[in-house]
Every structure is written in structure tokens, then in C-alpha cells.
Chains A and B, each alone.
Chain A
Amino acid sequence: MKKQLTILQLYPRDMNIYGDHGNMLALKRRAEWHGYEPRIIAYNPGDIFPDDVDIVIGGGGQDSGQDKIVADLLKIGSQLKQLAENGVPMLMICGLYQLFGHSFKTQDGHVIDGIGLLDVTTVAGPERLIGNIVTHSDDFGDIIGYENHSGQTFLGGSVHPFGAVVRGAGNNNQDGTEGARYRNVIGSYLHGSLLPKNPAIADWLLEQAATNKYGEFTPTVVDDHLAMLARKHAVRRPR
């Protein structure tokens, strides 16, 4: 029997802006290619939070989408924190990256509380930070994506950056950092979609999940030549 990996997708109905589905698809397909059996659970507001979870992913949303999910997120915050402390890998993009932090201060000074799983704070900035972006990480090499956010995020002492900005704005257009990492949790502004074009990150998430559950990760060789060519061409494109 194939080894199962359960992937929990947070709020796919309201937090799915621009290509977040691609991250889900990359994890699902690569789990299959590596010989695992992915089980996908879509979690929407009011659903029962499952207790057997191996990976958690979440995306960005319209402001109206965030309003719909924020109360529910605060309710499941302690369960998500417990999973994070247990080493469950997570990937939060854009809106849910912000809400995994302490708070988001909007343009009109209103403060939205996050769950504080990541030691980051976000304030609405004067301009949208939009365009192709390349960052670098010692663990993952060059990370290639597209950013589109008005929130500016600042990192606290208990997280470290996901990547250092090579080209683009990143967390706040000031300190040269992009995203945040805490234990096996990654927060990032990168769309693109992130995981298909950065398969090393997808495989790392699967590796953490498989190792937690089965004590080892047994990958196969995946044909990533199209991803490598897509990366090569994306890097050359204007901002």
C-alpha cells in the first residue's frame, strides 16, 4: 500500500488569488511522482479542523476574502501553532502569510489581528509592490516568482528570512528580505505559482512531511527540465 500524505489547504474558497491552486497541484503531483498517495483536504470557514495533517498550505485573497476568514483563522490558530511546533511543514503565501503574523495595520489605521505563528508584523504601504522577483536562499538556491502586495512586512527576532532579495521589493522594499521561516513553516509573497517553478521547495515540504510521518523520504528522480527552462526565461524578464 502506498504511503499517504495529507495536505490541508486553508480557505481555498476565499483565499485563492492568482495561481495559489498551482502550489496545491505541485504538491499533489510531486507526491504522486515520488510514490506517495496525496490526500487533499479543503478547509473553509466553519469546517471541522482535521487532526491528521502532514502539510498545510494557504494563499492570498481579496480584502473582502480576508474579512471572511479572519475570525475563523483566529479560532484554529492554536491548532495551527501546535502543528508548527510539531514540525509540520507549511507554506503560506501573501494574505495568509500576513495573517500568520501578529497583525496587519490597514491604510486607515485599523489593526487586524493575526494568529502570531510567525514573528512578523505587516503595515499597509503607500504603493503596491508589483513585478517579477528573484531571491536567494542557501537551502533552496534562487527562488523565482512574482510579487503583488501593498502590505509591508517586518520580521521579528524569532524568524529568519525565506530569501534575500536579488531583484524586486520583497517583504518591505527596505531591508532586502523576502518571506519568513520558523521551524518548517514558510511565509512568502511569491506567486508565479511558487512551487511548480521552484520544485526544490515543493520537494523540501514533502520531505519534511514524509520524514515526520514515516521516518524517511524516498524520492524518485522527477523530470524537471521544463521547470528549469521556465526559470531560465523568467529570470530574464523585466520587472
Chain B
Amino acid sequence: MSSLRPYSVLAGKAVRYIARLRGGGSALPGLFVEKIDASFVRDTLGQLPHGVVLVSGTNGKTTTTKMVVELLESQGLKVFTNRTGSNFSRGVAAALLGEVNARGRLKADIAVLELDEAHAVHFVDQVPPRFSLLLNVMRDQLDRFGEIDTTAGMLAHIARATTGTVVVNREDSRLLRVAKELKTDVRFFGLDEKLRTMFPGDDELHGADGTRVKLPQADVVLSELGDKATFTIGGKTVTTALKLQGVYNVYNAAAALTLARAVVGDSLDQQKLIGRLAEVTPAFGRGERLIVGGQPCELVLVKNPGGFRLSLDSFDPHGYATMIAINDNYADGRDMSWLWDVDFDSLQGGGVKQVGGIRAYDMALRLQYDDVPVGHVDTDLTKALRQFLANNAAVPKRIYCTYTAMLALRRDLGKLTDVEDVR
């Protein structure tokens, strides 16, 4: 440990405090401590008896990470996580600063971290994870990553750096190829044959035929999905109700269960595990339900065509007023092409009452080509939200939003209702 450590930790904590007073983001104090003490994250996480768990993939990282944390807590582990959703390395450093004592000690048994693929490849060179979870590879932010095959290569790098067990989605053909090359312990989660059509992978989303290679045995399989979900866990079936909505969230529960089983091993208490799973709610902005003016208002984050399609398939628009908010800031991706890879036919019946965000007119144009009736369009998101709430006061509402639009909407909704603080 660096002899400067107590000073860098205290100084970092001070920056964090000031940044929070200013209402700033979570990455700044992390950047600060990264600059003055590069080994801080590695040394601090290196102390943990159960090591580091890394969750990566295109869609579902945040909610899956939340599930893994809660499942491990159900087994009595004290878990550190970067739950701000700041899934860059700096966000991890910032989250650590909030938790360590002045001597740089972290009181936790294990860390569960969500990392953006591009950051994770560098992170694992510093901090090799004991466990990693690879969820899926879908086309997302090609303006940042270039190609989907490049993204798969990043996840392969993470898997190779993992010292213990790699948990892999066997239904994702690119990840399956990655898994076959690995020399470490690999465990799979998967879907029952009859559910596969509900969960297309990226290639199926783009019209490749669904012919499949023989799949490896999975530790946890999502075998039925109706009002309740049935999982086959180590060969035995378990049925449970869930608070999570959205088919992909439920599938990611299979991922979280596989990972928890790998971490805890033989001493696992399955009854507590499933009991806790039933109580998990979506992460903020991922189907999160707020109450505004006595009516529910759901926020659904959409970042890429695969995720947007899955969300539209997951949530029935009937009985809801729908709004879509599209920004094109760096964190959202600047290219609007992806909107054209999403099919909006399911919204034709009820229409979209309000479109908002910097690229509201790109979205409205997209809806025009799918014959979806559009109510109002405003590039000023605050005005768009106000109008949406006023025009649809008496009905439940659902807002599909890109990342920075979601942050802005939560900020505005926070003035009207209780919104969980996630900084």
C-alpha cells in the first residue's frame, strides 16, 4: 500500500463530499483519487476474502448486478457494489471512496461490480476478478465500440482474466464461442427450448436463421415463464413469483442464480436464495415504478435496438400512456440509426402521447414510418414531461428513455414525487 494512502483517501472523500454538495456526478472524485493514487482500487479490492465479481454485457448489467448483490446478501455476505450505475472504472473508485475508512480499509466480504465492456478490459488487467458474468453481446453504441465482434472480443478478454469461474449465457452464439476457448471453470445459464423464440440473440434479431449448435449443460435454466417463473436449478425445478418485470430481467435472474451458486458453493441456503430473488425490484430507470399524481409512472431505459425491442415486447402498452425520450449525448450514442432497427408496430393502437429529448424529431419521424400516431413533440425534455403528465393525469404512464434522458427525467420527477437517491 502506498504510504500516501491515508491522505489520498481523505482528500478523495473531501472531493466526493464537495461534488455531492454541488449536485455533480459520481465520477469526479474517482478521477481525483485515480490521478493521485493509481493503486488505490487494486489494493482496496485486493483485501476482500471472496474477491471481485464482474458483471458485463450489452443489456441488463445494472439490474443483474443488483440481483447478484441481493442474492449474495441473502447468504450472509457483506457486499460492496458500484450501485450508482456509474459503470466506468472511475465510478468504482468513487463508490469505494464512499465506503472505505480513513485507512483505506473496505468492510466487505466480496465486491460485485458492473462495468462497461470498454472499461472492464482495462480494469481486469489491474484487478483480476475471481468471478465474471457475461450476459450478452448486442449491437450498441457502435460509434464507440466500432463492431459487435469487437465487443465480443472485449468480453473474451474479461473471461480470460478471470481466476475462478466464468458464468456465460449459453444462448448467445458469440459468447458460446468465447466460452469454448476458456481454460478456467465455466458455468452456463440458459433457456428451455420452448422459451427461445421469446429471447432472440443479436443475430436472430437481424434475420439470421435460428439453427443452433448443440448447447452445453446449464447450471440454471429458465424453464417456464407466466405469472410465475420456473427455474431448473442443478436439475431440480423451483417456481417463484417475482417483482421484476420484463422477460429479459427474468432471464437475467437465471444468470444471477448461477453466479450466486458458484460464489457460495455447497453451503448455499436455497430457500433464502429464492425468497430474496422474489423480492428483487428493478434497478433505477429499468422498469422502475414511481407514483406521480396518484398514478404509476414507469421509466424504461432503452440504449440499443435489441434492448428497445425486448422492452416493447415485455411491457403491454394497453392501459398506459406512452412517452419516448431520446437524447444523443455521448453516453447515449450520437448516431440515431439504431431507432430504425426497432419495430414500433406494437404502439400503433394507443399511439405515443409525447415525444421528447434532443432528438425528439428523429423519434417522431421514425414513428411516422411505422404509422404510430404521435401526440406532442418537444425537444425540451422538461417541457415535454410537464405536458405528458398534464395531458395524461388520470392514467398510468410509461416512459421509454435513453440514458441521459432518464437522468434528466428522474431529476424533474424528483421535484414531484419521491425518487430514490442513486448518487
Interface residues of A (CB under 8 A from B): 12-13, 16-22, 25-26, 29, 42, 62-64, 128, 130-132, 146, 148, 150, 191-193, 196-197, 226-227, 229-230, 232-234, 237-238
A17 to B149, CA, bound (A): 12
Beyond A63-B149, A230-B359, A237-B328: 11 further Cβ-contacts under 8 Å? Answer: A18-B337, A19-B337, A26-B369, A146-B143, A146-B336, A191-B335, A193-B337, A193-B340, A230-B362, A230-B365, A238-B334
A-B contact pairs, 17 of them (CB 8 A): A12-B207, A13-B208, A16-B206, A16-B207, A17-B139, A18-B142, A19-B338, A62-B148, A62-B149, A146-B334, A146-B335, A191-B335, A197-B362, A229-B361, A229-B364, A230-B361, A234-B362
CB distance from B367 to the nearest CB of A (A): 9
A232 to B360, CA, bound (A): 12
A26-B369, A233-B359, A237-B328 known; A131 and B207 CB under 8 Å? no
Query: Among the listed B142, B147, B358, B365, which residue makes an inter-chain contact with A196, where contact means beta carbons less than 8 Å apart?
Result: B365
**B379 at interface, CB cutoff 8 A:** yes
CB distance from A13 to the nearest CB of B (A): 5
A128-B146, A131-B334, A146-B334 known; A18 and B208 CB under 8 Å? no
A238 to B335, CA, bound (A): 11
A64 to B148, CA, bound (A): 10
**B341 at interface, CB cutoff 8 A:** yes
Q: Are B336 and A130 in contact (CB under 8 A)?
A: no
Of chain B, the residue at the smallest CB distance from A193 is: B340
Fill in one digit per residue for B325-346: 1 if any A CB lies within 8 Å of its CB, else 0: 0001000001111111100000
Which parts of B372-395 form the interface with A (CB within 8 Å)? 377, 379
A17 to B334, CA, bound (A): 15
A193 to B149, CA, bound (A): 22
A13-B207, A196-B340, A196-B369 known; A226 and B364 CB under 8 Å? yes
Which parts of B129-166 form the interface with A (CB within 8 Å)? 139, 142-143, 146-149
Chain B interface helix/strand/loop/mixed: helix
Q: Are A130 and B341 in contact (CB under 8 A)?
A: no
Q: Are A233 and B337 in contact (CB under 8 A)?
A: no
How many of chain B's residues have a CB under 8 angstroms from any CB in A? 31
Interface residues of B (CB under 8 A from A): 139, 142-143, 146-149, 206-208, 328, 334-341, 358-362, 364-366, 368-369, 377, 379
Q: Are A13 and B335 in contact (CB under 8 A)?
A: no
Interface centre among B335, B338, B364 (most CB of A within 10 A): B335
Q: Are B361 and A233 in contact (CB under 8 A)?
A: yes
Q: Are B139 and A18 in contact (CB under 8 A)?
A: yes
Q: Are B143 and A130 in contact (CB under 8 A)?
A: yes
A23 to B375, CA, bound (A): 25
A132 to B328, CA, bound (A): 11
A234 to B146, CA, bound (A): 21
Residues from chain A with a CB closer than 8 A to the CB of B358 are: 233, 237
CB distance from A47 to the nearest CB of B (A): 13
Q: Are A29 and B369 in contact (CB under 8 A)?
A: yes
Closest 7 pairs between A and B when the two form their complex, measured CB to CB: A19-B337, A22-B340, A230-B361, A19-B340, A18-B337, A229-B361, A191-B337
Residues from chain B with a CB closer than 8 A to the CB of A19 are: 335-341
Query: Among the listed A22, A132, A196, A233, which residue makes an inter-chain contact with B379, where contact means beta carbons less than 8 Å apart?
Result: A233
CB distance from A169 to the nearest CB of B (A): 13
Interface centre among B142, B337, B338, B369 (most CB of A within 10 A): B337
Of chain A, the residue at the smallest CB distance from B142 is: A18
Query: Among the listed B335, B336, B339, B379, which residue makes an inter-chain contact with A148, where contact means beta carbons less than 8 Å apart?
Result: B335
Residues from chain A with a CB closer than 8 A to the CB of B340 are: 19-22, 25, 193, 196
CB distance from B357 to the nearest CB of A (A): 10
A18-B142, A233-B359 known; A192 and B328 CB under 8 Å? no
CB distance from A27 to the nearest CB of B (A): 11
A233 to B147, CA, bound (A): 27
Q: Are A18 and B206 in contact (CB under 8 A)?
A: no
Interface centre among B208, B365, B368 (most CB of A within 10 A): B365
A238 to B149, CA, bound (A): 27
CB distance from A119 to the nearest CB of B (A): 28
